Homo-oligomer: A and B are copies of this chain.
């Protein structure tokens, strides 16, 4: 399985290292021979048909800011160039989300699909904006489009829906899909700190981005709701179908007052109402998770409510989610 890996931030690097470190184990356990034939960031690419070494790409990135600075480096090369040129089986997109139009990732994914490469992505934006269309094109071209890393990379919410619950009917999904805002709410409630202070803590702990607006506004949760609902229930929503709001105006007082009544305020995404916003849940509800955890309730016709709780996404968790997708792809591919 020859892989082109785009994006060399936390996620891309973690994945590259993981694929290299676990090479033997992947071969043994899954007969999966994964070779990263190219990595690419904004400065250019590193390309080697036998596999770009992690040490080379990471050192180049660290010292000169781009993977293109190593011995196999090619400065100025773009993802579109690479996809046209390099022979590969899978395009892995770990680039950053742009919720305005999903670009440039959206065109990268389309190009990879048109060249009959499978696509594995952790970039939520193109999926939230154009998931139904992307899946349709992928099906037409006979390739797979997998995206476990887009929702709760740290916890397999998507796999839960499509694999562990296969054969059952999921009626609705509701949950905490953003770890940053949950951490902020948790600290405001239990420590009485202000939103700004809680956010500073979150940043110190690496739970929040430098620009946390996508989290705080509810946009990140809305994007995940679209992807999770479509995946679990076969719907065809896009981001414009979801109304969302975030933590605007909430105070420690609001949270403490709710706690006195045995309730907790949580930023909930709800597939029934296609809505993201602050809502009260029972304090003992499995949706009332602490710290930066995520929690999703799956309402299953045959089983009642099932809750899945775990970490949201960090770099290594998202890389692990991409790894799950690659293993799944490998299992589905005919042996060569």
CA–CA, A324 and B170, complex, Å: 13
Contact with B along A257-274 (1 / 0, CB 8 A): 000000000000000000
Q: Does A320 count as interface, using CB distance less than 8 angstroms?
A: yes
Contact with B along A146-169 (1 / 0, CB 8 A): 000000001110011001111110
Q: Does A214 count as interface, using CB distance less than 8 angstroms?
A: no
Pick the contact of A164: B30, B163, B309, B317 (CB < 8 A): B163
- Give min CB distance, A122 to chain B, whole Å: 14
Contact with B along A285-310 (1 / 0, CB 8 A): 01001100000000000111111111
- Give min CB distance, A23 to chain B, whole Å: 14
- Give min CB distance, A146 to chain B, whole Å: 12
Copies of this polypeptide in the complex: 2
Q: Does A284 count as interface, using CB distance less than 8 angstroms?
A: yes
Chain B, Cβ-Cβ closest to A298: B310
Excluding A166-B328, A306-B311, 11 further A-B contacts by CB distance (< 8 Å) are: A156-B164, A156-B165, A156-B306, A160-B160, A160-B164, A168-B320, A286-B286, A286-B289, A306-B310, A307-B307, A307-B309
Does the CB pair A307–B308 fall under 8 Å?
Answer: yes
A327 proximity list for chain B (CB < 8 A)? 166-167
Does the CB pair B286–A309 fall under 8 Å?
Answer: yes
Which residues in chain A, 33-77, are within 8 Å of chain B measured between CB atoms? none
With contacts A284-B290, A310-B304 taken as known, whether A159 is within 8 angstroms of B165 at the C-beta atoms is: yes
Does the CB pair A307–B306 fall under 8 Å?
Answer: no
- Give min CB distance, A174 to chain B, whole Å: 14
Pick the contact of A167: B160, B286, B324 (CB < 8 A): B324
- Give min CB distance, A2 to chain B, whole Å: 18
Query: 6 tightest A-B contacts by CB?
Result: A159-B164, A167-B327, A163-B163, A302-B320, A306-B310, A167-B324
Interface residues of A (CB under 8 A from B): 30, 154-156, 159-160, 163-168, 284, 286, 289-290, 302-311, 316-317, 320, 323-324, 326-328
A306 proximity list for chain B (CB < 8 A)? 155-156, 308-311
Does the CB pair A324–B166 fall under 8 Å?
Answer: yes
A289 proximity list for chain B (CB < 8 A)? 286
A167 proximity list for chain B (CB < 8 A)? 30, 320, 323-324, 326-328
Among A167, A284, A304, A307: residue with most chain B CB under 10 A: A167
CA–CA, A307 and B308, complex, Å: 6
Does the CB pair A164–B164 fall under 8 Å?
Answer: yes
